[in-house]
Structures are given as structure tokens and as C-alpha cells.
Amino acid sequence: MKAIIATTIFGIIMMFASFMVNNKSAISTLAVVLFAALLGVNIWDLVTTPANAPQLFYNNMLRVEHYSLWFNTLMTGCSLLYVLLMGKEIQKVGTHVAEYFALILFILCGVYILSTYNNLLMLFIGIEILSIPQYILAGSDKRNLKSSEASLKYFLMGAFSTGILLMGITLLYGAARTFDITEMVSILHSDALNPLALAGIMFIMIVLSFKVSAAPMHMWTPDVYDGSPTPFTAYMATIVKAAAFFAFLRLFQVSFNSLSEHWTIILAIITAATLLVGNVTAVFQQSVKRMLAYSSIAQAGFMLFAILAVNAIAWQGIIIYAVAYSVATIGIFSVLVKLKDYTYDGFNGLAKKEPLLAFTASIFLFSLAGIPLTGGFMAKYYVVLAVVQQGHLLWLVIFALLMAAISVYYYFRVIIAMYFKPGTPELTSQVTAGDKLMLIVTCIIVLLLGILPQLFLNNI
């Protein structure tokens, strides 16, 4: 696991850069170089690890499978894409640019731990490493009251959920007498299940649902996503969420697989509630940013499908969903930050003024809505397939697809505003050739995900 060490070192380099380098754009360039290097380290990890042979690290604290490394590599790739698309916007948030990049690198450290943990304590540490930089990033726009509110709200809620997580882990330890998630499998039996273990599983499920903003633990999401500076919202809503999902899936697939009869129905209700709340509330939003916050809740509902389906396709589903959703969301946010007005009306007439921006935004929205030939379709397809293969819960599939149809309503409102309504949107900055190039690259990735998804699943 060279990547964990590398991301820490790179983060520290970035922190040093904050007082060694004064030039903001130099810092951005350094960040791009470091993220690219990190991607390189991940690929190095990937090719040097033999397939089909999990490796244990640090006294069995981490267990590295091939698909975890593949997930890490893809998420690092998404982060690189994020830095390339958002670098300029991150510079505008505040004065401590280098620190922002350093915090994002630390978040990635949390991502790597969450994708490979083999021990409940590592789960806890991973979640904390993932969350704490986010509390800071959420409040980084200090002049903005909403940003401070977001940070405080997120921190308080996050701290509270951490407490519940620890409680859950303790109860589980009481029942299983181990923190090791693979050892636990042989101790927790469905027929003679210790009630402590069941309570522990429920607590952990609640906390992980909180982290992935599943209803009814989603209350923090709209305020935090709306209040945080837009570039950081983009990161929180994508890579961070995907990592939390991967951790969720890892625990429930590896340790609690045989107990699924006890938790499936609760998780199914959570999924249905998430889909309902996310989609229906998104319809009524006036601000696109807030709509995207609710849409991220709605998308989480679909990702929960992967956890409900305790089978092999679920892994592929979560990976393809994580990538497709992350790339499209980062893309749409990178269009959003260019606009001054975040309401739907702010998008009016964008197609006339910036045809490329409108076109790529449409592709990203198509992907989020799950239109074929975009990544979003394949993502939804995989998770639905995983649940259908499981056999039961078909009612949930049909419900989810109805909700997906609702989602078309609010995603297409943006397209309607851009293409069919007159107006001249105000932009915060000129759209440079570099921006356009990156948007086209992102667009191509979205389409590739939709046309040839196997490219992104070759290793599992």
C-alpha cells in the first residue's frame, strides 16, 4: 500500500508549499503534478499486486484485494480530473490554496483506508480521516456565513454519528470478540445471533447511512452541500461519498453477508426512503446547486442497491456507479461554478452564449438521469441487475425506476433552461481553451463509460 504513504507525504509537501510558494497558480500546478504522481503510485500498486491473492498489511489491519486497488486508482483518477477541472476555482475560494489541496490529499488517504480496511478500528480511523478535512473545507469560505454554518452543522452531526459508530463497534466486539472483519464471519451465525451483534450492526448501518446521506439520516446534506464553497461540494458529493459506499459495501458484503436476512428489510426501507426524499424534494428546488445536493441523495439511493444485493455483481456495480456518478457530477459542478447565478434562470440561454459548456453539461445531466450510452445508464443498469439477480426486492427495483423517471424532470429543467429559454447568463470568468479541453475529456469519459463499461471493470 504505497499509495497511503504517498498521499500522506504529498499532503505534507503541499502544506510546506503553502509558505514556500507564494504564487497561487504555481501551487495549482504543483497540485496537478502531485495528483498525477499519486495516480502513478496507485497504478504501480495495482500492477505489482497479484490478482486473486489478497495481501495483508500492518498486522492484518488492511487487506488489499485487487478490486480495492482498482477502486483506489479510479478514485484517484477522478480526483486528478477534479483538480484539473476545478483548480482555478479552488484558487478563488480563499487565501490558503495549498492547504485546500493538502486536505484533499488527506481525504484520499481516508479513501484508501476505507477501501482496504480489514478491521473495524481501521474503518473508524478511515471515516475520521475522510471526514475531518471535509469539516474544514466546508467552512473554508470564511466571509460567507452559510459556509460557516455548513461547517459547524457538518461537524456536529459528524461528531455525533462518530459516537454512534463507536458504540456499534463496541457492541459488535462484545458479541464477536474481535475487530477483524474476516474473522468475524465465522463467529457471527445467523441461527444463534447474539442480540448485541444485531444492535451493533444496526448502529453501524445508521452511521454509514449518515455518511452516504441516506434518508432519514440525510438532513445535513442539503445545507452542507449548499453552504460549502462549490468546488468542495463537488468533491464531497462524489469521491468522498463513493468511498463511504465502498466501505459500507465492504463491511456488509464481507462480514454481514450471511446475516442479510436480519438487515435487508431495514436497508430496503432506507433505500426506498432515500429515493423518495431525494427525488421528490429535488423537484421543488429553485437553485441548481441545492437540486444537485438532493440529487446526490437520490443517487445514493441507487448506490444502496449494490449493498442490498449481496453478490459479485454488486462490486462491479459500486465501482462503475462511483466512477460514472463522480465524473458526471464533477463535470456538472465545473459548469455550475462558471455561472454567477445558481438558480435555474441563471442557466437561461447558456447554449447560445457558450455552446460547448451547454453541450457538455447536457451530457453530464443525461448521465445523471441514466440515459443510455452515458455512464449513468450503465451504472444504474449494473446495480439494478445486481438486485434483480438476487431475486427478491423487485418491488424496490420498480419503485426506483419510477423515481429515476422523476429525476429526469429536474435534470431536464436545466437542459430546457440552457437550450430553450432566452437569456444571457453571467459568467464568473472567461471559459478558456483549457477549460473546454478538460470538459471535452470529461465528456468522452462519460460516454466511454456508457458504451464500453468493461474498460473500467477489467480488473475485477
Partner 1 sequence: MVLIFLILIPLLTGIISFTLKGDGAKALALISSILTMAVSAYVSGTNYTAPITYAHDWIPILGTQFSLVADGMSSMLCLLTGIVVMVVMIVSVNKTVEKPGAFYGFLLLSQAGLMGVFLAYDALLFYVFWELALIPVYFLCSQWGGEKRIPVTFKFFIYTFVGSLMMLAGLIYLSTQTQGVSSYAWGDIVRAGTSLSPEKQQWLFWLIFIAFAIKMPIFPFHTWQPDTYEQSPTPVTIILSALMVKMGLYAILRWLLPVLPAGVAYWSDTVVVLAVIGIVYASCIAIVQTDIKRLIAYSSIAHMGLMAAVAFSGSSVGMHGIMVQMFNHGITITGMWIIVSIIEDRWGTRDMTKLGGMATVAPKMAIAFVIISLASIGLPLTNNFIGEFMLFNGLFSGTEANHMVMMAIAGLGIILGAVYTLNMIQKTTYGEAVAMLKGKDVSINEYLGLAIIISLVLFLGVYPKPLLDLTSGIASMIVK
Chain residues in the site for partner 1 (CB under 8 A): 366, 371-373, 381, 384-385, 388-389, 394, 397-398, 401-402, 404-405, 408-409, 412, 416, 419-420, 452-454, 457
Which of 44, 399 has the CB closer to partner 1? Answer: 399
Q: How far is the CB of 346 from partner 1 (least distance, A)?
A: 18
Q: How far is CA 22 from CA 13, 28, 32, 79, 92, in A?
A: 14, 11, 17, 24, 15
Q: In 10 A of CB 197, how many CB atoms? A: 22
Look up cell 456495480; give the residue. Answer: 317
Which of 371, 431 has the CB closer to partner 1? Answer: 371
Distance CA 165, CA 205 (A): 9
Distance CA 51, CA 387 (A): 26
Q: How far is the CB of 420 from partner 1 (least distance, A)?
A: 5
Which of 22, 454 has the CB closer to partner 1? Answer: 454
Q: How far is the CB of 449 from partner 1 (least distance, A)?
A: 12
Q: How far is the CB of 184 from partner 1 (least distance, A)?
A: 31
Q: How far is CA 324 from CA 151, 238, 242, 292, 396, in A?
A: 27, 10, 10, 15, 22
Euclidean distance between the first and the last CA atom of the chain, given in angstroms as a whole number: 18
One-letter amino acid at 376 equals G
Which of 126, 450 has the CB closer to partner 1? Answer: 450
Q: How far is the CB of 397 from partner 1 (least distance, A)?
A: 6
Distance CA 318, CA 212 (A): 13
Q: Which of 333, 113, 124, 108 is nearest to 239 (CA)?
A: 108
Q: How far is the CB of 399 from partner 1 (least distance, A)?
A: 10
Query: ∠ at Cα 213 (208, 219), nearest 5°?
Result: 120
Which of 246, 366 has the CB closer to partner 1? Answer: 366
Q: Are strands 62-64 and 55-57 parallel, antiparallel or unpaired?
A: antiparallel
Q: How far is the CB of 81 from partner 1 (least distance, A)?
A: 24
Which of 259, 368 has the CB closer to partner 1? Answer: 368
Which of 62, 309 has the CB closer to partner 1? Answer: 309
Q: Is the Cβ–Cβ distance between 106 and 230 less than 8 Å?
A: no
